């Protein structure tokens, strides 16, 4: 089973890091290689341009892909299914125009020209509003085109809006909200190995921002401790070997932001020997 992942750019490192944390360590993934094996002999990785990954999956060169939702929408591929929002690489595709220009609304672009690296998404956006401007496809420096009279407005990716502001462009409307997604071909989405990979990646995402708390609690104070632990589905309670029945072990998964307050609360409720650890993966 082959997974296509970005070969460079802002999505490359976070994607490789996610695979590593999910247990799919790359064994021979040197720079400029097209393929890499993983510790799972049934799973390999294909390195490709982020924009090409949807086509690679649809055409069968790969079974799964990791790339931005914006790239999937632009590729207009069929027979691919989204399996998981990986929640990184967040950005927006926005319609923007010069701040001191006459374009202040979508309707102002009727009969106008829009430059973009995402012509298919852009045409869909305007078609939904009953408009058909001239869409010019460019391959970079999109934000410069209104200032050199190539376009009246642009549709471009922004994360913070800083580049748009630097080029004196104001956002008119959001076209698309995007993040990195895991997807697969429809004909293999239910294959056991595909489901294994999805579960592994999902377990890493589920563990993010969580901490594992362990503590000893006098049995007669157990209810008090339970009341102050904001765990997932409540804490796990276990007998302590050679504990004489006076204390029990309590384990719980809590949100990282709640750890400070939770430790204070459980200690006041009678807990001792409190230990906090990170969680690498959490399978629900």
- The mean pLDDT of 47-72, rounded to a whole number, is 96
**pTM of the full predicted structure?**
0.87
Same domain, 85 and 191: yes
The verdict on 49 and 27 lying in the same domain is yes
Res 241: pLDDT: 77
Q: Is the Cβ–Cβ distance between 5 and 56 less than 8 Å? A: no
**pLDDT of the residue at 140:** 85
Whether residue 284 is contained in a domain is answered as no
Q: Tell me how far apart the alpha carbons of residues 128 and 265 are, in angstroms, rounded to a whole number.
A: 54
Q: What is the pLDDT averaged over residues 27-52?
A: 88
Residues 55 and 185 occupy one common structural domain: yes
* CATH number of the domain encompassing residue 268: 3.30.70.120
Expressed as residue numbers, the domain containing 192 is 2-89+179-206
Q: What percent of the chain has pLDDT over 70?
A: 96
Read off the pLDDT of residues 82-122 as tens digits, 9 standing for 90 and up.
Answer: 999 999 999 999 999 999 989 999 999 999 999 999 999 99
Of 177, 195, 222, at which residue does a domain stop? 177
Query: Within this chain, do residues 33 and 106 fall inside the same structural domain, yes or no?
Result: no
Residue 17 lies in a domain: yes
Q: Give the pLDDT of residue 246.
A: 85
| 71 and 184 part of one domain | yes
In a domain, 283, yes or no: no
Residues 274 and 230 in one domain: yes
The predicted structure's pLDDT at residue 244: 65
Please give the pLDDT value at position 243. Answer: 61
Residue 235 lies in a domain: yes
How large a percentage of the chain has pLDDT more than 90? 84
Which of 160, 177, 194 is the last residue in one of the domains?
177
pLDDT in tens, 157-189: 998 888 899 999 999 999 999 999 999 999 999
Within a domain: 143? yes
What local confidence, expressed as pLDDT, does residue 221 receive?
93
The CA-based angle 245-248-250, given to 5 degrees, is 170
- What is the sign of the dihedral through the CA atoms of 183, 67, 5 and 23? negative
Confidence of residue 29 (pLDDT cuts 50, 70, 90): low
Q: In this predicted structure, what is the pLDDT of residue 178?
A: 96
With contact defined as beta carbons under 8 Å apart, do 175 and 82 qualify?
Answer: no
């Amino acid at each position: 089973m082959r997974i296509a992942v970005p070969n460079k750019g802002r999505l490359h490192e976070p994607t490789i890091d996610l695979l590593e944390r999910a247990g799919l360590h790359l064994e021979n993934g040197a720079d400029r290689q097209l393929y890499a094996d993983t510790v799972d002999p049934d799973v390999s990785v294909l390195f490709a341009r982020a924009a090409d990954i949807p086509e690679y999956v649809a055409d069968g060169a790969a079974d799964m892909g990791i790339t931005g939702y914006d790239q999937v929408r632009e590729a207009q591929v069929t027979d691919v299914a989204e399996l998981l929002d990986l929640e990184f690489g967040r950005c927006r595709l926005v319609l923007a125009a010069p701040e001191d220009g006459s374009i202040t609304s979508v309707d102002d672009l009727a009969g106008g020209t829009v430059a973009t690296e995402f012509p298919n998404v852009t045409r869909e956006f305007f078609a939904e509003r009953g408009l058909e401007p001239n869409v010019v496809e460019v391959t970079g420096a999109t934000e410069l085109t209104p200032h050199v009279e190539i376009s009246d407005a642009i549709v471009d990716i922004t994360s913070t809006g800083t580049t748009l502001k630097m080029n004196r462009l104001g956002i008119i409307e959001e076209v698309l909200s995007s993040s990195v997604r895991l997807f697969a071909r429809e004909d293999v989405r239910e294959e056991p190995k595909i489901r294994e990979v999805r579960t592994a990646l999902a377990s890493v995402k589920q563990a993010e921002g969580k901490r594992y708390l362990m503590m000893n609690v006098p049995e007669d104070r157990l209810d008090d401790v339970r009341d102050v632990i904001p765990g997932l589905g409540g804490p796990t309670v276990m007998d302590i070997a050679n504990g004489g029945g006076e204390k029990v072990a309590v384990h719980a998964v809590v949100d990282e932001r709640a750890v400070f307050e939770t430790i204070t609360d459980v200690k006041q409720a009678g807990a001792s020997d409190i230990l906090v650890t990170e969680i690498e993966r959490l399978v629900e």
